[in-house]
Structures are given as C-alpha cells and as structure tokens.
Chain A
Amino acid sequence: MIRFDQVSKRYPEGREALSRVNFDIPAGDMVFLTGKSGAGKSTLLKLIIVMERASQGQVFVQGTNLNRLARRNIPAIRRDIGVVFQNHQLLFDRTVFENVALPLTIAGYQPREVGRRVRAALAKVGLGDKEKQLPIALSGGEQQRVGIARAVVNKPSLLLADEPTGNLDPGLSAEIMNLFEQFNQVGVTVLIASHDLALINRMNRRQLLLHEGRLLEDRPPATLVATDLRGGL
C-alpha cells in the first residue's frame, strides 16, 4: 500500500526533514508514526498525499510512483486517501453536512447518494444529530470527529491522520483511536502520526519511530507486547 524506498526530503530552506527512510506498509495494516516534535512525521505524511515531493528516493502509494506523478494526476491519488490534518480542518461558513459532503461532491456523486453517505459517516463518528450545525457551534472533539467523517466518507482505501488526538482529553482520544481501529477492521489501511506514546502503546500496533528524520525503529506489535510484558514483570 505504502512503500518508502531510500526517501530523503530537504526543504528549500532548512536541513533534511527525512533522510533515507525505508518501510513498507501492506494494505489493511494499522501503523503509528511516532517521534519527537520536528522528527519529520508530518513531512512523511505530506509526501504520501503529494503535498510535498521527495528530494531523493521513491515513494509508492498503491503501486504508483509518486515521484513520476504528473501534477494533474495528484487529485485522483488524493481522492482515494482520507486525511485528518489538524490545520486543514473545517470550513466554518459551511454546515457540518456540507463539510463532510465535500469529498463526495468532488468525486461527483448524486445528491441522494451524497446524503446517504454523509449521514452514515456522521452516524459513525457519533454526530448524526449535528449535520445542520455550523462547525463553530461544536466542541474541539466534535470538530475533530467531523474531520474524521470527512476523511472516511468517500471510503478511501488509505486513511492518514496527523495528531488526530492533539488537544483532546484522554477519554476522547481513546474514543477517536477506537474509531480508527474500526475503520481498519473493515479493511482500510491506517497511518497515524502521534506523539501520545501512552495511547499508542495501549493500541498494540506496528510503530515507526522517527528521530531527526531517520527511521530509528520499525516495531511490529508482537515485540511491543513482549516488551510490555517484560516491563510488567
């Protein structure tokens, strides 16, 4: 599903944000991307949705080499990827319904189909009764969930999230992680960048640990359980 092959990214002004990163995420996997602030997590996600291009190496998403992707083909790639980004959230002059409907409108769905899918997605994130509200009238956690509904409404095969639990209380964070887990259970590949280590460790999933742009560790879930057990003894 996602393959990084010796990927480096250097921003025009600044040092290397990623250096020689290698990994392969098979379809249907759920993976956490961790690391300190500035480690390169957001950069890595941006490479996947072609908000940035790799300086060196190759990025493959669903077999497509993104380095060779023409500008005009970027939208098609993005339509099959759901993204939950903290700073590209909601349009505050549109209702919750319209916000969530956006990817469907773009993909060209009939209004009836749009209505059906948006309601299903909102029900999924527990906001079935808020579709007519403006996002400004929602709490931070609810806004975050609207963002998630928008990310999944087009049933993407890949779901990316950058700090989806950024400023939520622990209870809400767990709830949102639970949502991602449910999407993964129906076959969606999920990649979440987060530095909420306590939460991630509880999830028992594969972890990619970035440190200053390098992939320091690629831990499969089982190892993690073993470590935790050892720690518990």
Chain B
Amino acid sequence: MAMAGKRPPRRPNLQAATRVVNKADGAGGASTSKRSLGDQWRAYLANHRRVARESLQGLFKVWLASAMTWLVIGIAMALPTMLYLILSNASTLSGDWDGKPRISIYLQESVSEADGRGFAQQLLADELVVAVDYVSPSAALAEFTQRSGFGDVLRSLDRNPLPAVITIEPGVSQTGQLKPLVARLEAEAMIASVSFDLAWMERLFAILDLAERFVTALGGFLALGVLLVIGNTIRLAIENRRAEIEVVKLVGGTDSFVRRPFLYLGFWYGLGGALMAWVLVGASLVFLSAPIEMLLASYQGDFLVIGLSGGESLLLLLLGSGLGILGAALAVGRHLRQIEPS
C-alpha cells in the first residue's frame, strides 16, 4: 500500500514509549502473519488450556450453583446407569442358560438304569430331539450335593430320593412346536413327570429384553434432559457475558474463539455431572449390594453384585462430557450469532 507522502512513517524524535510499541515490527503491518506457525500453534494450545482452566475456576467461584447443576445432571445420569446395572446383573444371573429350551424327564423310581438309557436312545429317533443326556440317580445325587451344599442332609437319608433324569435338547425352540412332544412324553408309562422350562425362561428373557429397551428409552429421555439443562445453563452464561462477547467480536475474535469458553463450560458441567452420577451409583451399590447378595445367596450359592467396570465408568464420563459439549454447542449455535456489536 502506498503511504501518503506528507508524513514519513517514522520520525526519530518520538517519545520513548512509541519506540517500544513499534520496535518489533513496522507500524501497521498485520503482525499476526509475522509469527511462525509453531508459535501460533503453541499460543492456540495455551489459549485452550487457559480457557479450560478459567471456565473451571469460574464454576468453582460460584460453587453452590455449580454443584446444583452437577447434581441435577448427576441424578439424570445415575438413574439409567443404575437400571443398566440391575439389568446386567440380572443377565449374569440367567447367564448359565444358553437360550435353548430343555425338556427334563423324571423317570419312575422303578425304572432300571439300563432301561432308562435304552429309553433315552429311543428318544433320539424322534425328529424333534437333537440330543439326550441320561443322568442316573447316583450321578444326580452327586451333582446336587456338590451344587447345593445340602450334602449332609442327603447323606443322612437312608436312600437316594432323586430320580433318574433324561434331559432332551430339542431341535426347535418355539414352545408351540414342542407341545406335542411334551404331551407324547407325558403319556409314557416309564415317566413320572416332564418339566419343560422353556416358557418361564422365554418370559424372563422377554422381560429382560423389554427392560433393556425401557432403560435405553429412559436413557435417551434423560440424555435429552441433560442436554436441555446444560443448554439452558450455557444460554444464561452467554446472556451474562453479552458485553464481553460484543467487545471480543469487535476486536476481531473469531466465532471459535468466542465459542470456546462456553464449550469448555459445557464440558465441565457434563464431566462433573457424570462424576456425580458415578458417585451416586457407587453409593447406591454399597447401600444395596449386601441385602441383594444375602437374598440371592439363599437361592443359589454365591452371587456378587457387579458394579461399573473401569471401561463402563470411563464410558459414563465420556458420555457426560460429550453431552455437555453437545448441549453447549447447541446453545452457542443458537444464541451467539445473535450477539453482534451494535
């Protein structure tokens, strides 16, 4: 650009301060372009660190209000997390079962082992039967003793109360298709009773599946709630800093520069909320696990209530901070554009 002739760009007789101001580069040049990319990158990172630190400090400065927001987010996130844990524990409980139906046939006491095995082989001929497993009364007793811990009681009896059992693995899994087979078996003279455990298992799994969907839906709703809470909190923060935003835009702050503190704010809200949820879930588990374990021990040996794994905890925190950033981004996108210096 051509300088207007009248005055030279610099004159020697300026005040010392002027010289300091203009020592580094000639007056007026776009000084930004004179710094190396590395310097600019470092300054950019430094700005991120500073904004992250300052926004967190800002939250602690009004710690009571921040704690309330964190608690609201924490509760909203703890609820589906708890339900998720209940479900995953329930799945562990029913995990022994591979999802295929089993038909258990209890033989009459009078049936000898040889006859029982022969009968089992006959059953294999049925096209609906894939595999059979004959368990003799003594084998059944041994297994029961080992599994239940009631060995002493059983040993004190003078005879084995358990019948021989044939377990059938059918080739189909629909209850309806198996009904004729079950009816035929019940008619056999050798058989004392037939237990067909599919129906309630099917129901249990249907219930678990339903519960899973319910938790997913609830989680979705509550995530939306978290987004709204954070979005609204950020909107208020934007409104409070309106003057600052105008000045920053006036002196050439880019959109991303203006956005940055609010995104970090959302991040801290989300992360803090997730931490709060983590603590709430942990505390509830401590509170609940002893009675649950006692209850389940009375049914089926050892059971340990499983808490959140390291990976799941990390996921919770990531989810929280992600929701925070997203909520902030939505609020910022809606409101920041409207604030222009005027």
A interface list, Cβ under 8 A from B? 1, 26-29, 49, 51, 62-63, 72, 75-81, 83, 85, 88-91, 102-103, 105-111, 117, 120-121, 123-124, 150, 152, 154-158, 182-189
Contacts and interface: CB of A to CB of B under 8 A. Distances in A.
A78 B29 contact: no
A78 B252 contact: yes
A51 B340 contact: yes
Contacts of B44: 108
A88 B341 contact: yes
Given A51-B342, A102-B247, A157-B27, 19 more contacts: A27-B1, A27-B2, A27-B3, A27-B28, A51-B250, A63-B1, A78-B250, A88-B250, A91-B247, A111-B46, A120-B17, A120-B20, A121-B21, A123-B17, A124-B18, A155-B21, A155-B31, A158-B28, A188-B28
A76 to B, nearest CB: 7
The CB with the most chain B CB atoms within 10 A, among A1, A63, A90, A109, is that of A109
Nearest to B25: A155
A142 B56 CA distance: 32
A108 B22 contact: no
A115 to B, nearest CB: 13
Contacts of B30: 79-80, 157
B305 to A, nearest CB: 49
B248 interface: yes
A79 B30 CA distance: 8
A108 B3 contact: no
Contacts, number: 142
Interface in B1-33: 1-4, 6-7, 9-11, 14-15, 17-18, 20-22, 25-32
B302 to A, nearest CB: 59
A105 B253 CA distance: 9
A224 B44 CA distance: 49
Contacts of B25: 155
A123 B20 CA distance: 9
Contacts of A28: 3-4, 6-7, 9
Interface stretch (B35-43, B88-96, B140-148, B171-179): B35-43
B62 to A, nearest CB: 13
Contact of A78 (B42, B43, B251): B251
A75 to B, nearest CB: 4
B252 A88 contact: no
B243 interface: yes
Given A80-B30, A124-B17, A187 B40 contact: no
- 7 interchain residue pairs of minimum CB distance: A79-B252, A157-B28, A187-B9, A78-B252, A187-B27, A108-B43, A186-B27
A75 B3 CA distance: 25
B255 interface: yes
B250 A83 contact: yes
Interface string B260-292: 000000000000000000000000000000000
10 contacts: A77-B252, A88-B341, A91-B243, A106-B254, A108-B32, A110-B42, A110-B46, A154-B251, A157-B27, A188-B28
Contacts of A158: 28
B15 A182 contact: yes
Given A123-B20, A185-B11, A76 B29 contact: no
Given A108-B43, A155-B28, A155-B29, A103 B252 contact: yes
Contacts of A79: 30, 32, 251-252
B250 A49 contact: yes
B106 interface: no
A189 to B, nearest CB: 7
B244 interface: yes
A81 B341 CA distance: 15
Contacts of A120: 17, 20-21
Contacts of A51: 250, 340-342
B341 A186 contact: no
A183 B7 CA distance: 12
A108 B40 contact: yes
Given A28-B9, A51-B341, A152-B21, A106 B253 contact: yes
